[in-house]
Amino acid sequence: MKENELKVALAQIAPVWLDKKGTIEKIKITIEAASREKAELLVFGEAFLPGYPFWLAYTEGAAWNLDVNKELHAHYVRNSIQLETGELDSICALAGKHRMAVYLGVMERAMDRGGHSIYASLVYIDQNGNIRSVHRKLQPTYDERLTWAPGDGHGLQVHPLKQFTVGGLNCWENWMPLPRAALYGLGENLHIAVWPGNLNNTKDITRFIARESRSYVISVASLMRKADFPSNTPHLEKILQKAPQVLANGGSCIAGPDGEWVVEPVVNKAGLLYHSLDFNKVYEERQNFDPVGHYSRPDVTQLKVNRERQSTVKFKD
C-alpha cells in the first residue's frame, strides 16, 4: 500500500446483542477477516459492544418504575465494558498483531463515574494495539437518555494514521456543529461517524460533513433484524412483539473531500466493506476551502473546548 493511501474496512454487521463475551469474539473474528484483506483501519458501529438499546422503543421505555425496563437496563449494564479492568485487552492485542487501527463503539461502565452508569463511548485503538482515546457521547439522543449518561469533552481527540489525521463522533453528535469544529481545529481530515444502523442517518450527513470539512467521512452503521436477537435475551417475547423485521438496515458509506460518494450507502447487506483512500484528495479540496485554515476568521469567531474528564468527586489524599 502506498504511503498516501489507507485501506479501510467498514464492519456492517450485527453484534451478539447484549452478550459481551459473544460480541467480543465476533469482533476478533472480524479483525482477522479484515487482516486477510490487509485493512489498515477497521470501524464498527455505535454501541456495537454489546449493542444498541432497541428495547426502549418497543417496551414502554419511558414508563416509570417498569420491571421490564429495570431488568433489561441491569442486564445491559452487566454486559457493558470496564476499560480499567482490561476487557478490551484481547481486541487490542489482535489489532496490534495485525498492525490495524480500530474504531469501536462500546457501552462503557466507567469506573471514574462510580461504575454504575453507562456511556456510549467511541474507542480508538492504534496500530500498535494501544487505546489512545475514549470519547463518551456528549448528548444521548431521545430515548437513549433513559439508559445512557451524557459524556464530556475529554475524548475530542485526533490521531495520526499514516498521512491522515483521524477523529470521530457518535451518531447524532455528528449533527453538532461545535464538536465537529473542535475536531477540524485539531487537523482532522478523516472523520469517523458511527451509527446504530440506518440509511436515514447516513445518507445526508455523511456528504455534508465531507463537503463542510473537505475531509473523507466514513459512516459505519450496524445491522439488526429480528433474527439477530439471541434467544436468551431477557423479555425477548415482549421486545419482538412490536419490533419490525428490520430494526437497523445499515447504510454504511464513504464520502470524499469533495462531498461526493466514494462508496454509496449499502443497506440490508451484512459484511465488511473495503476501500482505499488517497490522501492527496484532501489537499486538492483544501485549495479552495479550509474551515479552520485560510477560510476562517479566528479574530472574529473562536471556539473554546473543555477536555477535562469530568468526575463527581475529586479527592486530595
Following DSSP, what letter does each residue of 127-181 receive, concatenated?
TTS-EEEEEE-SS--GGGGGT-----GGG---EEETTEEEEEEEGGGGG-HHHHH
Strand partners, 170: 194
Whether 189 maps to a domain, the answer reads: yes
Neighbours of 238 (CB within 10 A): 15
pLDDT at 216: 98
Q: Provide the pLDDT confidence category of residue 314 given band limits of 50, 70 and 90.
A: confident
Name the domain count of the chain: 1
101-109 and 41-43 strand pairing:
parallel
For residue 160, the enclosing domain spans 5-286
Q: Residues 167, 157: contact at Cβ < 8 Å?
A: yes
Is 243 among the domain residues?
Answer: yes
Q: Is residue 1 scored above 80 in pLDDT?
A: no
Residue 297 lies in a domain: no
Residue 100 lies in a domain: yes
- Rounded CA gap, 30 and 40, in Å? 13
Q: Are strands 223-225 and 216-221 parallel, antiparallel or unpaired?
A: unpaired
Residue 264: per-residue pLDDT? 98
CATH value at residue 149: 3.60.110.10
Closest CA to 105 of 91, 117, 86: 91
pLDDT higher than 80, residue 18: yes
130-163 per-position pLDDT tens digit: 999 999 999 999 999 999 999 999 999 999 999 9
Q: Give the 3-state secondary structure of residue 274.
A: strand
pTM above the 0.95 mark?
A: yes
Within-domain flag for 296: no
pLDDT category of residue 289 using cuts at 50, 70 and 90: very high
Per-residue model confidence (pLDDT) at position 61: 86
Residue 112 C-alpha cell reads as 471514574
Identify whether 313 is part of a domain. no
Residue 62 pLDDT: 87
- Give CA–CA dist 25/87, Å, rounded: 12
What is the rounded average pLDDT of the residues 189-209? Answer: 97
Instruction: Tell whether 97 is covered by a domain.
Output: yes
Mean pLDDT across 175-203: 97
**Sequence-distant (≥ 6) Cβ neighbours of residue 222 within 8 angstroms:** 12, 13, 14, 15, 44, 45, 46, 48, 52, 195, 196, 197, 248, 250
pLDDT tens across 23-72, in order?
999 999 999 999 999 999 999 999 999 999 999 999 988 889 999 999 99
Nearest C-alpha neighbor of 49 from the set 75, 17, 77, 71: 17
Burial class (CB in 10 A: 0-12, 13-18, 19+), 106: buried
Task: Please give the share of the chain, as a percent, with pLDDT higher than 90.
Answer: 95
Asked if 20 contacts 81 with a C-beta cutoff of 8 angstroms, the reply is: yes
Q: What is the pLDDT of residue 3?
A: 87
Query: How high is the mean pLDDT of the chain?
Result: 96
Which is higher by pLDDT, 120 or 242?
120
pLDDT at res. 2: 84
